[in-house]
Amino acid sequence: MAYDICIRGAGIVGRSLALLLARERLRVALVEQPPTPGKGPDVRAYSLNAAAKSLLEDLRCWPEAPAVTPVHAMQVFGDAGGAVHFGTTDPGTTELNWMVDVPVLEERLAAAVQFQPQIEVLREPVQAPLTVVCEGRASQTRAELGVTFDITHYEQHAVAARLQCEQSHGGVARQWFRFGPAPGLHAPQAEILALLPLGGEGGSDIALVWSVHPARARELVALDAPAFAHELENACGFALGRMQASSERAVWPLQLARASRWIGPLPGATDRSFALAGDAAHAMHPLAGQGLNVGLGDVAELVRVIRGKEFWRPLHDLKLLRRYERARASDVLAMGLVTNGLQRLFAQTGGVWPQLRNWGLSGFDRAGPIKHWMTRHAMGTPNGKTTS
Q: How far apart are CA 337 and CA 327, in angstroms?
A: 17
In terms of Cβ atoms closer than 10 Å to its own Cβ (0-12, 13-18, 19+), residue 118 is middle
CA distances from 252 to 59, 255, 350 (A): 31, 10, 28
Rounded to 5 degrees, what angle do the CA atoms 168, 174, 175 make? 155
CA distance to 50, 52, 59, 277, 378, per residue, from 386 (Å): 6, 9, 15, 20, 11
- Tens digits of per-residue pLDDT, 159-200? 999 999 999 999 999 988 887 888 888 888 888 899 999 999
- Report how far residue 348's alpha carbon sits from residue 362's, in angstroms, rounded to the nearest whole number: 18
Q: Which range among 45-49, 241-245, 326-330, 361-365 has the greatest average pLDDT? A: 241-245
CA gap 45, 55 in Å, rounded: 18
Could you read off the pLDDT of 76-134 as tens digits, one per residue? Answer: 887 656 667 767 655 556 788 999 998 899 999 999 999 999 999 999 999 999 999 99
More confident residue, 352 or 64: 64
- Delineate the domains of the chain, giving CATH numbers in brackets: 5-151+254-379 (3.50.50.60), 156-253 (3.30.9.10)
Residues 72, 318: contact at Cβ < 8 Å? no
Contact 253, 153 (CB under 8 A): yes
Instruction: Identify the CA nearest to 209 among candidates 171, 158, 285, 156.
Output: 158
Q: Is the dihedral of CA 362, 363, 368, 372 positive or negative?
A: negative
- Inter-residue contact 135 to 8 (CB < 8 Å): yes
